[in-house]
Every structure is written in structure tokens, then in C-alpha cells.
Amino acid sequence: MNKMRIHYNNKLAYYEIAYFLKDYINLSTVIICIGTDRCIGDCLGPLVGTMLKEKHFPLPVYGTISSPIHALNLEQKTEDIKFLHPKSNILGIDACLGDKDSIGEIQCRDYPIHPGKGVGKCLPDVGENSIIGIVDSFENSEVFTNRSIRLNLIFDMAKVIVDSLFHSIYLNHNYTE
């Protein structure tokens, strides 16, 4: 299993992420952004999805602020997406909990997201590859609802992820449009 991690405020974060992703993203990739806009800590995925759609990302993107994919609809939405794109490679994007020292870290992995795992939910895995952003620590008793999570952190992490996805398309030699 391959994994890379980098802090969002590293000046080359978007490039390092793009360079890792270029081997896992191609014209048959579908992006699924998981989370909800009802909680700042969990809105990383929908914010990334919204930003990608607003910038006319050339691949299919599901999960936005206006149409989120979250715990209550995840199973049905992923089934629908797999039906629409049966031969696609899915890249899942989600917020995550981690160690206190890891807050602000973006991790890219060549394995699926396990949504809800950090909060004790049993949800289906998403994707063949994944990007997670660590937005808070496991130590926090008010998981994802803590008023200490700044929207600025989520927004800045989302911008890095969006820039890296565009750059990874550019780096991928299979992209010809």
C-alpha cells in the first residue's frame, strides 16, 4: 500500500500530491467527495467537490455543498455512481480525524476511504484510491462539531486538494484534451 502525507501549508503541497496522484488518476476516474455542509469539520469533501465543479474539472465529480454524499445516503449514492460509471476508477475524498500533531495533514493513498471509522460508524469503503484531510484529533470528545475547527483550515486544505487534482490531470500522460 502506497501512501504519502504532507501538511497543507507546505508551499509545494499541491505539487507533491499531484505527483503522487498522477499514477492513480486518468480519464476514467470519478471523484466522490464525502461529507456534509452541516458541520465545519466534515465539509472538506463537499467543499472540494463544489470547487472542482465551479472550476469545470474535466472528470465526473459527485458530492458538493448543494448535493452532499454523507452517512445517510452514501451507500445508495455510491451504487448509483458505480452504475453510471461501471468501469471507472473511483477517487474518494473525505475529512478525517488523526493525532493532534497531524491536524492539517493531507494524505493520499492507493486504497479506499473508510468513512465514519473515526466516529464509530460502519459504512462501505469508497474508492480504489483516496485523499483524506486531517481536520481534528481523535482526542476531541465533540468529534467534528468542535467549535475549535476553523473554516479557514478546511477552506485552505480544500484549495490545495483542488489545485493538486488539476495538476495531476496535467501531469498524467493519458490526458489529451
Does the structure show a pLDDT above 70 at 141? no
- Residue the block writes with cell 474508492: 127
What number of other Cβ atoms are within 10 A of residue 83's Cβ?
Answer: 8
> Between helices 44-54 and 151-171, what is the axis angle to 10°?
50
Nearest to 36 by CA among 72, 12, 89: 72
Kindly indicate the confidence band of residue 122, based on its pLDDT and cuts at 50, 70 and 90: confident
Burial of 1 (0-12, 13-18, 19+ CB in 10 A): exposed
Domain spans of the chain, in order of start:
3-171
Decide: helix, strand or coil at residue 94.
Answer: strand
- Please report the pLDDT score of residue 1 as a whole number: 83
Does the structure show a pLDDT above 90 at 176? no
The mean pLDDT value for 68-81 works out to 94
Average model confidence (pLDDT) across the chain: 90
Reported CATH class of domain 3-171: alpha beta
In angstroms, the CA 160 to CA 8 distance is: 7
